[in-house]
Amino acid sequence: MDKELLLSAEGLRKLEEELQYLKSVKRREVAQRIKQAREFGDISENSEYEEAKNEQAFVEGRIIELEKMLRNARIVNDEEIDPTKVNIGSTVHLKDVDTGEEVQYTIVGSNEADPAALRISYQSPVGKALFGRSVGEVVEVKVPAGTLRYEIVRIERAG
């Protein structure tokens, strides 16, 4: 049994758009490149053909991966979420208990994560520690450099 994938509505839309693009546009582009490369003659020493075939394999693999994700996807709706607890779509304001430094993260599905934009997966170490927790709680996160301790200062829901 494949694991359920929690997504926001936006995350689901992005996956569906990527799948549609790969199936309707990218597949045709790669097929055209393969056809053109074949016209160059001997395919055994044809780098354009080899590159196009590799890209085709990548595209087909990504299509399979996206279809599997979408089969196992479940949208997390605001109505089913306790706004006082960290969940998908929550922006969590944290205070490092040891340094006093403040940081905020938005908790998202794993395919929506973008650490540079402070969007972390609910499956990441910090995301797992925060998920389902409430304001005032202190969570511990084991990282290679040791253990981080964060106090949950505020939880916001995207609106």
pLDDT at position 145 over 90 = no
Asked whether this chain's domains 5-75 and 78-157 adopt the same fold, the reply is: no
CATH class of domain segment(s) 5-75: mainly alpha
Domain coordinates in residue numbering, the chain: 5-75, 78-157
pLDDT in tens, 75-130: 877 666 777 899 888 899 999 999 999 999 999 887 788 889 999 999 899 999 99
Token couple for 7: 């997504």
pLDDT in tens, 17-71: 999 999 999 999 999 999 988 887 777 777 888 899 999 999 999 999 999 988 9
Q: Regarding the domain delimited by 78-157, which CATH topology (the fold level of the hierarchy) does it fall under? A: Chitinase A; domain 3 (3.10.50)
DSSP string covering 60-113, please? HHHHHHHHHHHHTEEE--GGGS-TTB--TTEEEEEEETTT--EEEEEEE-GGG-
Q: What pLDDT does 3 receive? A: 77
